[in-house]
Amino acid sequence: MMLNLVEHVFLCLCLIAIMVKRVAVILSGCGVYDGTEIHEASAVLVHLSRAGAKVQMFAPNADQMHVVNHCEGKPTEEKRNVLQESARIARGDVTDLAKLDVSAFDAAIIPGGFGVAKNLSDWAVKNKDCTIQPHVEKLIKDFHKAGKPLGMCCISPILAAKILPGCELTVGQDKECEKWVKKFFIIIRYFWMFKKFNLSLSFFPSSGGRMLRQQVL
């Protein structure tokens, strides 16, 4: 039986929550164009809650790359802090990413949104030559080294692809998206599953890929 995208994401999150109970969710602000994609963050939190996982949210205590007016989709002159903006999603219960102790958690999940490409990295402007925010890079390396699962939604798998040698990502069955992603530096796989439990789960719907090309490239 074929599963749709939502069912795949739900199944993967349930598998994580069944095997682990303490999950760190990494946010990148609040709002799809300059922070965390709120729908994705909400879906992650709902499914983890239903599966009985204990969740703590984290975000870098740093300025956003820029602020986007979400009514117009255009940058403004404002300055906002990633941690403070992430608190909108977390209802205030969010911790500075610098304080994350990998030993205190069994898994980490990073929802998507352009904040991943702008605040957790500079991929939005540098593409394959991007650098990763230091605390994010440490998080991914430490969880991977400890053999703990990393869940990544939408554009966030680029973080693992940049940091972890041989990382594999999924992009669904979209041939156009496949050609675009191959210009980066990752290996494509046509199945929604994780090959090794300590590598990232990549939820990369093709519509997200198209939106990313339109908004960033």
- At 151-193, the pLDDT tens digits run 888 889 889 888 888 776 655 555 555 554 444 433 333 333 3
Rg (CA), the chain: 16
Summary mean pLDDT of the chain: 77
More confident residue, 146 or 203: 146
Answer yes or no: is pLDDT of 23 > 80. yes
Catalytic residue check, 154: yes
The residue annotated as part of the active site, out of 12, 30, 154, 167, is 154
- At 109-151, the pLDDT tens digits run 999 999 999 999 999 988 878 999 999 999 999 999 999 988 8
Distance CA 4, CA 2 (A): 7
Per-residue confidence band for 11, with pLDDT thresholds at 50, 70 and 90: low
Q: What percent of the chain is modeled with pLDDT above 70?
A: 68
pLDDT of the residue at 153: 87
pLDDT of the residue at 44: 93
pLDDT of the residue at 59: 98
Domain 5-216 has CATH 3.40.50.2000: no
Each domain of the chain, given as residue ranges in start order, spans: 5-216
Pairing of strands 67-69, 74-76: antiparallel
Per-residue confidence band for 21, with pLDDT thresholds at 50, 70 and 90: confident
Q: What does the DSSP assignment read for 124-168?
A: HHHGGG--B-HHHHHHHHHHHHTT--EEEETTTHHHHHHHSTT-E
Per-residue confidence band for 40, with pLDDT thresholds at 50, 70 and 90: very high
Distance CA 197, CA 113 (A): 24
pLDDT of the residue at 112: 92
Answer yes or no: is pLDDT of 197 > 70. no
- At 53-109, the pLDDT tens digits run 999 999 999 999 898 898 988 888 899 999 999 999 999 999 999 999 999 999 999
